[in-house]
Structure 1
């Protein structure tokens, strides 16, 4: 997964900071924070982060989050990561 700025399908932008694994299920989680206000940090299951959803206005299937700018220090992910 590329670290960087992503746009949510509803329009808000988020900075993806990294990936982590759930201690019990070993599910991959995406660590991110909103690019607006002081909203803290959030995690979302990787599978949900990269899934396609129906856009409420167009009815088209679109990515839930779309990369708009890779971080300067973005590195390719390790093979062990999703």
Structure 2
């Protein structure tokens, strides 16, 4: 049986909304240079004084979080 990648449904170029409401564009999916963990490189589509480009483990990107008792995706696909 083939191993399922945690980034299988992450679409480069697509716009996603973080559960806190801000929009992001996925640049691509890659590998951490030391651990070889799958990571997502993404761009903030709003003015962020901390930086424009961000990286997060693909497993975190794709996870379901609980907010105020409701389960929702950490990043929700909006459009491509």
Is 1:64 the counterpart of 2:64 in the alignment?
A: no
Q: Please state whether the residue corresponding to 1:48 is helix, strand or coil.
A: helix
What is the Cα deviation at residue 25 of structure 1?
0.6
* 2:54 counterpart (42, 63, 68): 42
- Equivalent in the alignment of 1:26: 36
User: Across the two proteins, how many residue pairs are aligned to each other?
Assistant: 68
Q: Which residue of 1 aligns with 2:11?
A: 2
Runs of 4+ in structure 1 displaced over 2 angstroms?
Answer: none
TM-score, normalised to structure 2, is 0.79
Greater RCO (CA < 8 Å, at least 6 residues apart)? 1
In the alignment, structure 2 segments of 5+ residues that lack a partner are: 1-9
**Unpaired runs of 5+ in structure 1?**
71-82
What is the TM-score with the length of structure 1 in the denominator? 0.77
Query: Deviation at 1:10?
Result: 0.8
